[in-house]
Amino acid sequence: MGAGNGPEAHNPIFQDPGEEKPGWNHWLLIAAAVVGDVPVGRTANDQPSAALVIDGKLIADEIRFRIAEQIRRMKDSVGKVPGLAVILVGDRRDSLTYVRNKVIACEDAGIKSLVTQFPQNCKQDDVIRALSTFNEDPSIHGILVQLPLPQHLNEEKILNALKLEKDVDGFHPLNMGNLAMRGREPLFIPCTPKGCIELLIRSSVEIMGKNAVVIGRSNIVGLPTSLLLQRHHATVTILHALTKNPEQITREADIVVTASGVPNLVRGNWLKPGAVVIDVGTFPVEDPSCENGYRLIGDVCYEEASKVASAITPVPGGVGPMTIAMLLSNTLDSAKRAYDFT
């Protein structure tokens, strides 16, 4: 839905909304007991790496270039371009940043984008009315609701008001249900999980028959990522806040995808030598040497993990760029269906 579809930055949605606080305190206790004192100011860019660095920005740029080419062909052939509508409630700084970057990405690719912003105290009916307008607009092929929404709004009702054919975030219950069922295909695959799998495939990582661990079970990342890995015939284990001995389970994994919401949770001694690590987590830490005063780190202690893993995504520059690329891809696919364009 928009919550993980921007550039990499801290986002609390990676913390499982179904968990009680004691569960997440359990994660934090693990982080304190197992992780210890971590030099959180250090990031992928500072450390020598024995592992292959999976360059999400480079891969995303290649995908976006091909998307732009297809959109130019579509415009020349049918005189139309894809359209994406974004609904934003409130003025959270992170949400504003996400939306701004999506708009820029759309412009670069040739996708028409529209942003409707509501005040923090808006009425639910107003949001649903805007959704209904976009649902019926033939020039709009994708609709994205930027999460999180204010607590007084019913997120489920708002998201269910999305037209299935325009749910480019892939979180409509029917899309998620089809993703979970063998023999069925969702119209759209959620952007961040789709980006994670695309990184593995384009890095020539074998998934079939491998043991995969997904850390975190949110509807946004963990659950759909585990379903996608199963579709690629991996044997998947999901870890969550109440999982006992997570480090021991993770050490059995050939592939680790982590979206726990805990910075530097995964240490080098959590990993099997040669494992492939996809780090979805992002957290700002103060750093006066950076122009904006902070830098980003992930769920994984990169300094240690890069010495054990065979391949690893950096933070930033790993999963984040792929999320936006997959949003553009889903929007293009929707327009192709609408215009019967191949």
Q: What is the mean pLDDT of the chain?
A: 89
pLDDT at position 327: 98
Tell me, yes or no, whether 63 lies in a domain: no
Tell me, yes or no, whether 25 lies in a domain: yes
Tell me, yes or no, whether 81 lies in a domain: no
72-77 mean pLDDT? 98
Cα distance between residue 261 and residue 269, in whole Å: 19
Which residues are 283's β-sheet partners?
297
User: How does residue 49 score in pLDDT terms, banded at 50, 70 and 90?
Assistant: low
Is pTM beyond 0.75? Reply is yes
CATH number at residue 318: 3.40.50.720
Tell me, yes or no, whether 302 lies in a domain: yes
Tell me, yes or no, whether 147 lies in a domain: no
> Going by C-beta distance under 8 Å and a sequence separation of 6 or more, which residues neighbour residue 32?
none
244-263 mean pLDDT? 98
Q: How many domains does the chain have?
A: 1
Which residues are 211's β-sheet partners?
235
pLDDT tens for residues 274-293?
999 999 999 989 999 998 88
Active site residues: 102, 146, 169
Tell me, yes or no, whether 4 lies in a domain: no
Q: How many CA atoms lie within 13 A of 55 on its CB side?
A: 7
CB 102 within 8 A of CB 131: no
Domain, as residue range, for 215? 12-57+188-323
CB 68 within 8 A of CB 110: yes
Tell me, yes or no, whether 203 lies in a domain: yes
Cα distance between residue 244 and residue 164, in whole Å: 38
Tell me, yes or no, whether 222 lies in a domain: yes
Percent of the chain whose pLDDT exceeds 70: 86
164-189 mean pLDDT? 95
pLDDT at position 1: 54
Q: What b/e readout covers 100-113, taking b as 16+ CB neighbours within 10 angstroms?
A: ebbbebbeebbbbb
pLDDT at position 36: 40
User: How does residue 44 score in pLDDT terms, banded at 50, 70 and 90?
Assistant: very low
User: How does residue 94 score in pLDDT terms, banded at 50, 70 and 90?
Assistant: confident
pLDDT at position 292: 85
Structure tokens at 109: 């690719």
